[in-house]
Amino acid sequence: MASTSSAFLILLITVFYFLNPSEPAGISTYWGQRNDEGTLEAACATNNYQFVNIAFLTTFGNGQTPVLNIASCDPASTCSALSSQIKACQAQGVKVLLSIGGQEGSYSLSSPQDAQQVADYLWNNYLGGQSSTRPLGDAVLDGIDFDIEQGTDQFWSDLAKALSAHNSQKKVYLSAAPQCPFPNAELNIRNQLLPAVRDGVFDYVWVQFYNNPQCQYGGGNADALLTRWNEWAQLNVNQLFLGLPAATGAAGSGYIPPDALISQVLPSIKSSPKYGGVMLWNRYFDQQNGYSNAIKDSIN
């Protein structure tokens, strides 16, 4: 009987694992927009982050020559030196993604064919493909992050699906960083990524719960944030992250003091089966404020 029970227990654990493949909760951050934020390798060496998004590819689509905008290097000559740092991060279990878009730049997609061309470029120059012009050297990034704040809401799902089509060769992780409002006539807000998120093509969605007073923490009150979190959690999302500024200076509004996050917000959102952790904008402000140090033991 004992051996039969043990075998049955092992079977149950195995089935549970494959039916629930979600990773442990963690912290995601963005790196690349400041000269004074320290190296990528140093960020990963803190052991605070599960994901680091290199920001940003600011120009692409519509036949434009893609442009990588990183503060600490010139993509035409020196960014390939980041290759060894990317590999060092990955050796520590940190997933390193390229974030496309951002607040500034020139990017949009004009058609499904345009989306396919951008996907092919990303695969060959940053992911598992081959190109003689890889801006970050021979390191193979783990995936692509969509921080789409310009253009229309069209064809982003086409781009994500085209990137996912390479999964048979190497898993391409996809993340999205939409803002927290849901578009409606009253607010007159366009959230470009919402249709793509609804299509269920992203592995991780770190929603920006800041710079949007109608759905962020404010005045010591988390009600608006939690209401909107529950709405996002109804979508076809694998893992949902709470996106926050890592210091008061990181955003115009929406900062949550670490103790308030731990006492007022995390207990509620951690009960969601979609909960994946916290995203912090960005590494520089986190380094200055020590935010990830303050919350990391409470994330799981």
Active site residues: 149
Q: Which two structure tokens, joined as six digits, stand for 291?
A: 């935010």
> What SS3 class is residue 147?
strand
Kindly report the number of other CB atoms within 10 A of residue 298's CB atom.
16
Segments in the chain forming alpha helices (H): 2-19, 40-45, 83-91, 112-126, 156-164, 194-198, 223-232, 258-260, 266-269, 283-289, 291-299
Kindly report the number of other CB atoms within 10 A of residue 4's CB atom.
8
Residue 2 vs residues 7, 14, 254, 287: alpha-carbon distances, Å: 9, 18, 55, 52
Q: Which residues of 8-42 are buried (b: 16+ CB within 10 A; e: fewer)?
A: eeeeeeeeeeeeeeeeebbbbbbbbbeeebbebbe
Residue 51 vs residues 95, 204, 268: alpha-carbon distances, Å: 5, 10, 23
Q: Hey, which bits of 169-270 come out as E strands? A: 173-176, 204-208, 239-245
